[in-house]
Structure 1
């Protein structure tokens, strides 16, 4: 999946580490470790904007389909570890898309 690679590249460029993630047909789950100087809203704005622009440049049919519209939905959900444990977040991500599992972010440790 090209979106996965673009998100990985964008995270790497900003010093963001993807601890875990999964890709579905219509949404993506990420567990990130990022510098405290980066606001979650700015991280999502950057990743969604960059990936949308590059995907539409690479796949002209997307540009036609989403002309004048957003490729990604405007909203997102964000929670910090502490409100819930990292283990709970990891389990949530791991159990997404069990029926129709498209792809998982493979993180090499």
Structure 2
């Protein structure tokens, strides 16, 4: 029998519940011996697992497909018509200006035009 892997939200909830229960046990018992140290040290990884799982769950939400798919044959990274050689020859400020002009539909790849 195979169990399905829990998603990030489930991991975050379980780790948070474990961290809270360990912390409550530590506070209620008030032990200042080896068991208290172990409980305190177990709280730290549970909180870290909770934080990482929450971040992973947020990233999963961000990976949903966009409402408008990209047009085939058109680059999706915003570098329309400028290759690596052109970018190497331009000053960074010129490159930004050229990219803005190209994005607005004015000028050529060399920055000439009005």
Q: Same fold (TM over 0.5)?
A: no
Per the normalisation by structure 1, the TM-score is 0.26
Larger strand share, 1 or 2: 1
Larger RCO, structures 1/2 (Cα 8 Å, 6+ apart): 1
Highest CA radius of gyration, 1 or 2? 2
